[in-house]
A and B are shown apart, each in its own frame.
Chain A
């Protein structure tokens, strides 16, 4: 059984990574780099959605972890 707080910490970190990719996509001057950063951001975003779903499940399964 994974501990919900670990999953939440990891998801928060991923959100930060998404934000950094998004920022770099905006600030880079090379079009190739811009596109690559943008695609990376989208992939990370999908992963975050999966994780959010999992967090929702975990909170329902184990109400004692809610809000951690």
Chain B
């Protein structure tokens, strides 16, 4: 067999094996390597590289080596899934760097982090003053996660004691001018609805680069032609404005009528509409 042909065959077959092994080990491998997986990954890579180039090495040896290096981390991962103490050994535990606003120097030393590195990690999180931090922990993957002191955290709805409100995730239903049928059915909308919405926006589907439907069933479109301004969904803010107008109208009617009973009816209507405004406002503001 020609040399180049053999190299090619070996390379292709190891490429396939590596592909299968990475699929088995799973997504975790890419995002958060434990030290163990890191070593195993490098070794598997070099075995594959070595064997696909060096034709004097028997291919079976490489198979065995790769399978061992692939299986052992897999097994370790499986045991770690079941046992907390084993997980601590293989993957390590997080180290607390800051607690109650105080830096733990011993832990910094243990993890071989200098104060500058820790400050730089904090700055990456947008924190420039250590005294704002209530708690900071160095995760096993080397990232620093922080909990700010309560009065330094961003304001939330619950801080203001506002009514809880929930929004579902938007669905991307048009990409590159093409309809994604699966996503459309997942969003619970129909093709007829989409055609209607596109007509309202004054565009055809071929001109849409990206189309997303939000929690309120409104369609946002981005067009290929950036000069064109499609009509943005305005229904909800418009409805809020209209409701306010109706409440004011009712109050005006109540003032201008002489009949007591009618006056009362108008006043009740105004109160009802105002109640609706209060309740629906969080959902109607953009």
Could you tell me which A residues sit within 8 Å of B by CB distance? 1-2, 6-7, 10, 13-14, 16-17, 20-21, 24, 26-30, 32-33, 36-37, 39-40, 43-44, 46-47, 50-51, 54, 57
Q: Are A37 and B250 in contact (CB under 8 A)?
A: no
Q: Which residues from B are CB-within-8-Å of A14?
A: 246
Q: Contacts A10-B250, A17-B243, A17-B246 known; A2 to B166 CB distance under 8 Å?
A: no
C-alpha spacing A26/B187, complex, angstroms: 12
**At the interface with chain A, which of B117-125, B139-147, B253-261?**
B253-261
Q: Which of B231-267 contact A (CB under 8 A)?
A: 235-236, 239, 242-243, 245-246, 249-250, 253, 256-258, 262, 265
**B255 — nearest CB in chain A belongs to which residue?**
A2
**B262 — nearest CB in chain A belongs to which residue?**
A54
Q: Contacts A17-B242, A20-B239, A50-B269 known; A2 to B256 CB distance under 8 Å?
A: yes
C-alpha spacing A17/B216, complex, angstroms: 16
Could you tell me which B residues sit within 8 Å of A by CB distance? 165-168, 187-189, 193, 215-218, 235-236, 239, 242-243, 245-246, 249-250, 253, 256-258, 262, 265, 268-269, 272-273, 275-276, 279-280, 283
C-alpha spacing A54/B283, complex, angstroms: 31
Q: Are A2 and B246 in contact (CB under 8 A)?
A: no
Q: Are A36 and B187 in contact (CB under 8 A)?
A: no
8 Å CB contact of B217 from A24, A46, A47, A57: A24
